[in-house]
Structure 1
Amino acid sequence: MTTEDNSTNTNTNNNKTLKKLLLVVLAMFGFGFALVPLYDVFCDITGLNGKTNTSAAIYDANGVDKSRTVRVQFITRNAQGVPWKFEPIVNEVDVHPGEMQFVSFYAKNNGTHDIVGQAVPSVSPGQAANYFHKIECFCFTHQPLGAGMDVEMSLQFYVDLELPADIKTLTLSYTLYDITEKSS
Structure 2
Amino acid sequence: MSAPAPGKGIAKLAAISLGAFVFTFSLVPLYRIACEKVFGIRLDNTAADASAVASAVPDERWVTVEFDGSVNSKLPWGFRPNATRMRVRVGEQYEATYAAHNNGARAIVGSATPSVAPARASGYFAKTECFCFTAQTLQAGETRDLPVRFIVDPSLPADVHTITLSYTFFKNDVLTERLAAAAPSSTVPHSAP
1:68 deviation in Å?
1.2
Instruction: Give the aligned residue type for 1:145.
Output: L
Tell me, yes or no, if structure 1 residue 128 matches structure 2 residue 118: no
C-alpha RMSD over aligned residues: 2.8
1:90 deviation in Å?
0.7
Instruction: Give the aligned residue type for 2:140.
Output: A
- Whether the aligned pair in 1 keeps the contact of 2:130 and 2:149 (CA below 8 Å) is yes
State the secondary structure of the residue aligned to 1:147: coil
1:48 deviation in Å?
6.5
| Partner of residue 6, structure 1 | none
> Aligned partners of 1:119 and 1:112: how far apart in 2?
21
Q: Does 1 or 2 have the higher relative contact order (CA < 8 Å, sep 6+)? A: 1
Tell me, yes or no, if structure 1 residue 163 matches structure 2 residue 171: no
State the secondary structure of the residue aligned to 1:45: helix
Of 155, 164, 172, the residue aligned with 2:165 is 172
| Partner of residue 146, structure 1 | 139
1:65 deviation in Å?
4.5
Of 17, 33, 36, the residue aligned with 1:46 is 36
> Aligned partners of 2:175 and 2:70: how far apart in 1?
20
1:39-66 CA-to-partner distances (Å, cap 9, x unmatched) read: xx9xx92377688xxxxxx898535843
1:67 deviation in Å?
2.1
> Aligned partners of 1:110 and 1:126: how far apart in 2?
33
Instruction: Give the aligned residue type for 2:36.
Output: T
State the secondary structure of the residue aligned to 1:129: helix
> Aligned partners of 1:82 and 1:49: how far apart in 2?
30
1:73-105 CA-to-partner distances (Å, cap 9, x unmatched) read: 000011122111111111110111101101111
Instruction: Using the aligned pairs only, state the percent identity.
Output: 40
| Partner of residue 27, structure 2 | none
> Aligned partners of 2:48 and 2:131: how far apart in 1?
17
Instruction: Give the aligned residue type for 1:172.
Output: L
| Partner of residue 87, structure 2 | 94
> Aligned partners of 1:90 and 1:103: how far apart in 2?
8
| Partner of residue 14, structure 2 | none
**Consecutive aligned runs of 4 or more in structure 1 exceeding 6 Å deviation:** 47-51
C-alpha spacing 1:92/1:50, structure 2 compared with 1 (3 Å): farther
> Aligned partners of 2:107 and 2:40: how far apart in 1?
31
C-alpha spacing 1:73/1:47, structure 2 compared with 1 (3 Å): farther
1:112 deviation in Å?
1.0
State the secondary structure of the residue aligned to 1:163: coil
The total of aligned residue pairs comes to: 137
- Whether the aligned pair in 1 keeps the contact of 2:65 and 2:162 (CA below 8 Å) is yes
TM-score, normalised with respect to structure 1: 0.66
